[in-house]
Chains A and B, each alone.
Chain A
Amino acid sequence: DGGITQSPKYLFRKEGQNVTLSCEQNLNHDAMYWYRQDPGQGLRLIYYSQIVNDFQKGDIAEGYSVSREKKESFPLTVTSAQKNPTAFYLCASSGTNGGEKLFFGSGTQLSVL
């Protein structure tokens, strides 16, 4: 099945700890995105990457980091600098050259212990 796989589904972070959320896609899409979803708010863009080895900050990048070493993988690290990390995190991908449709993974719920 083609799609986007996020893991884990649930993640707990202790204070001062960095945690990494995994996102893998087998859609052969060039572009990948990380969004944060808080209750009652729309999706907010954290980071995006339009090509391997390149990525840009979104609207709320502070306290997060990413890498894009492979086309199919776009992991997100929530660092200890992110003081309010509890949220639902969504990874998405889209094709370039006019591929506008975003395909989302099933999300990771991150909570602070």
Chain B
Amino acid sequence: GENVEQHPSTLSVQEGDSAVIKCTYSDSASNYFPWYKQELGKGPQLIIDIRSNVGEKKDQRIAVTLNKTAKHFSLHITETQPEDSAVYFCAARPDNYGQNFVFGPGTRLSVLP
């Protein structure tokens, strides 16, 4: 079945710097890759997603890139702000898994003022 790895597990950056989180997946049939942000004591919220027929997607300070050949996708956050501090999860949806997702273990991002 699908397996999603995520690196790094923790990441600290200075305010204003960029942050990059990378995920790899194993099932080449996976076709949808969302990223979720989880603040302390809350449920995850979708921040950006990308489909397998697209290489890059951008939404203001957040971008996601996908390399299908290498089976990895990355989250890029530019001009980081303290409110970006949270745990970020990537996920992959295998084509034969219905509406279900396989999640990475998460990255705890700390933006230092």
Q: Please list the residues of chain A having a beta carbon within 8 angstroms of any beta carbon in chain B.
A: 4, 6, 31, 33, 40-45, 48, 50, 58, 90, 92, 94, 96, 100-107
Name A4's closest neighbour in chain B (CB-CB): B43
User: Which 10 A-B residue pairings sit nearest by Cβ, starting from the closest?
Assistant: A104-B43, A42-B103, A43-B103, A42-B105, A106-B43, A104-B44, A105-B43, A42-B104, A107-B43, A106-B42
Contact B32 A100 (CB under 8 A): yes
Name which residue of chain A comes closest to B1, CB basis: A59
Query: Residue-by-residue, is B22-44 near A (CB-CB < 8 Å gives 1, otherwise 0)?
Result: 00000000001010100001111
B105 near A40: Cβ-Cβ < 8 Å = yes
Give how many B residues have a beta carbon under 8 Å from the other chain's beta carbons.
25
Question: Could you say which residues of chain A place their CB within 8 Å of the CB of B36?
Answer: 102, 104
Q: In the assembly, what is the distance between CA of A104 and CA of B46, in Å?
A: 9
Alpha-carbon separation in the docked complex, A81 to B80 (Å): 45
Closest B-chain residue to A31, C-beta based?
A: B99
Q: Which of the residues B41, B49, B99, B102 comes within 8 Å of A50, measured between beta carbons?
A: B99
Which residue from chain B places its CB closest to the CB of A45 in the assembled complex?
B100
- Would you give 18 A-B contacts (Cβ < 8 Å), ordered by A? A40-B106, A42-B6, A42-B102, A42-B104, A42-B105, A44-B103, A48-B99, A48-B100, A58-B100, A90-B44, A100-B34, A100-B93, A104-B36, A104-B43, A104-B45, A105-B43, A106-B42, A107-B43
